[in-house]
């Protein structure tokens, strides 16, 4: 654990201090190159902000921690199978972005022992405190909690082998900025994994703005500046797809 504490400063980047200016509804955001649009008529489960035609969903607050830890989650989402599908290796450094109370962080931590660890990123102090309590109860010592922001994961460049977002990406208020930040944190040849409820399946019992299609996810993540390419979609879960993107390796000299 002491080794992990020494490594933490190397992972943390300074957070941007600039405040975002409010923009008028139904207008493109001039400070973001017109990437975002606010619409007055929208899904009540969304925030009214649109990115590449997709409405951004409301973020789950700390009150949802018990839902994340519900007894039926393993049966509904097959988290053990999800983690197995990632094919993590001992020594990997994994970022769980939007880690919540740490359910998935704890499962991944076991897979990267003895020398690997999980950086659990969340924007909510209450979630991070609960995560720390949960890891202590379970005796997990290789999960490092980090506070992120709406536009930064607080991870250092090229410090991460795999970054995973489980039912999280669609809630990012600034998805472009977050993906740019995450792509910088991934090492060449590393992976970004989105786990999202399948928009293509109308039988999945989740509100529409909390689903994502493969087509939409690929369009957002494969933008040239992110240097990420879709590698595979793993369809082993009952309700979600696992979309894997790989960062291009450094060119040979």
Residue partners of 22: CB distance under 8 A and separation at least 6: none
- Pairing relation of β-strands 228-234 and 211-212? unpaired
Angle, helices 125-138/103-111, rounded to nearest 10 degrees: 50
Judged against a pLDDT cut of 70, whether residue 245 lies above it is answered with yes
Separation of first and last alpha carbons in the chain: 38
Tens-place pLDDT, residues 13-38: 433 333 333 333 344 554 556 899 99
Tens-place pLDDT, residues 137-152: 999 999 999 999 999 9
At residue 104, the pLDDT reads 93
What band does 75 get if pLDDT is binned at 50, 70 and 90?
A: confident
Domain 2-11+60-247 of CATH type 3.40.50.150 = yes
Note whether 47 and 56 are within 8 A (CB): yes
Note whether 36 and 21 are within 8 A (CB): no
More confident residue, 175 or 22: 175
């Amino acid at each position: 654990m002491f080794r992990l504490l020494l490594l933490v400063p190397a992972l943390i980047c300074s957070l941007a201090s600039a405040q975002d200016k409010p923009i008028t509804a139904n207008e493109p955001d001039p400070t973001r190159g017109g990437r975002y649009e606010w619409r007055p008529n929208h899904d009540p489960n969304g925030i009214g902000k649109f990115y590449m035609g997709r409405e951004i969903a409301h973020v789950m607050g700390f009150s949802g921690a018990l839902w994340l830890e519900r007894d039926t989650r393993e049966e509904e989402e097959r988290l053990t199978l999800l983690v197995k599908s990632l094919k993590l290796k001992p020594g990997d450094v994994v970022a769980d972005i939007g880690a919540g109370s740490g359910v998935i962080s704890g499962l991944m931590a076991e897979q990267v022992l003895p020398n690997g660890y999980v950086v659990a990123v969340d924007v909510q102090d209450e979630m991070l405190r609960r995560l720390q309590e949960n890891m202590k109860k379970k005796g997990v010592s290789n999960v490092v909690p980090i506070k992120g922001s709406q536009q930064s994961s607080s991870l250092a460049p090229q410090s991460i082998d795999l970054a995973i977002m489980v039912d999280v990406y669609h809630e990012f208020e600034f998805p472009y900025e977050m993906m740019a930040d995450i792509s910088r944190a991934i090492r060449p040849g590393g992976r970004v994994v989105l786990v999202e409820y399948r928009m293509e399946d109308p039988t999945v019992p989740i509100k529409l703005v909390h689903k994502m299609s493969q087509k939409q996810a690929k369009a957002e993540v494969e933008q040239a500046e992110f240097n990420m390419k879709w590698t595979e979609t793993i369809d082993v879960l009952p309700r979600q797809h696992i979309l894997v993107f790989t960062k291009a390796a450094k060119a040979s000299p």
